[in-house]
Amino acid sequence: MAIFLDTGKIEDVEKFLRMGVIRGVTTNPTILLKAGVIGGRDALRKRSIEIADLIKPLPLSVEVTTNDFEHMIVQAREYAQWAGNINVKITVHGPDGEIENFEAVHLLETKYDIRVNMTAMMSAQQCLLGALAGATYVSLFGGRVNNMGYNCVDEIRKARSVIDDQDLKAKIIIGSTREVLNVIEWLEAGAHIVTVVPEILKGMIVHPYSKETARMFLNDARKAEEMLKS
């Protein structure tokens, strides 16, 4: 699966979808706000359906806007009805450590057959428990893990090892990508997917020496054409 695009902008999705380099899109309230999506639930619904329709059958992750157990279930079921390729994002626990989120994820996956992306994880053990709860995706925030002073690569390797050993279905997503080098590094460590913002994805493509080489080829081609004319 490799790369999911982290954006709420239609033009970004269209651009990289035409290139064929993305395998899904992820959003959250912060991303959508930065993308200018304002107007409450109606605006969220409209943009989500627009992106989901654009990328189908590739997955789109849309995050609930509450940490109340009943409201999470209601929102998740609503989001899932917007499009068949929508996954619902739910954080690993609440802002004060509320652990009922695991029950919500398990209920959504097993009773309502809704695909869940369990997000905001910072450790391999959180990934394992999310996978055991039935989450389709477990999202480890690599950049934030690194900011805490230890290498996310170790957590990815541990998480992938135990998930594979237990034959669990969950795919490991690594988000919070801060540098271009993170993408290959994290995929090589065992991540199934790395999420990237458009700037990181462009940075993966454009290299100064590639630009220099392209200029050289074009300049030499023009010189060759001029020589043929003379």
In this prediction, the residues of the chain whose per-residue pLDDT falls under 70 are: 230
Q: Is 89 among the residues known to form the active site?
A: yes
The predicted pLDDT at position 227 comes to: 83
Q: Exactly one of 56, 89, 111, 202 is catalytic; which is it?
A: 89
The predicted pLDDT at position 196 comes to: 97
- For 171-219, how does the pLDDT look when each residue is reduced to its tens digit (9 = 90+)? 999 999 999 999 999 999 999 999 999 999 999 999 999 999 999 999 9
DSSP letter for each residue of the chain: -EEEEE---HHHHHHHHHHT--S-EE--HHHHHHTT--SHHHHHHHHHHHHHHHHTTS-EEEE-S---HHHHHHHHHHHHHH-TTEEEEEESS-TT---HHHHHHHHHHHTS---EEEEEE-SHHHHHHHHHHT-SEEEEEHHHHHHTTS-HHHHHHHHHHHHHHTT--PEEEEE---SHHHHHHHHHHT-SEEEE-HHHHHHHH--HHHHHHHHHHHHHHHHHHHHHH-
Domains, the chain, in order of start with CATH, read: 2-229 (3.20.20.70)
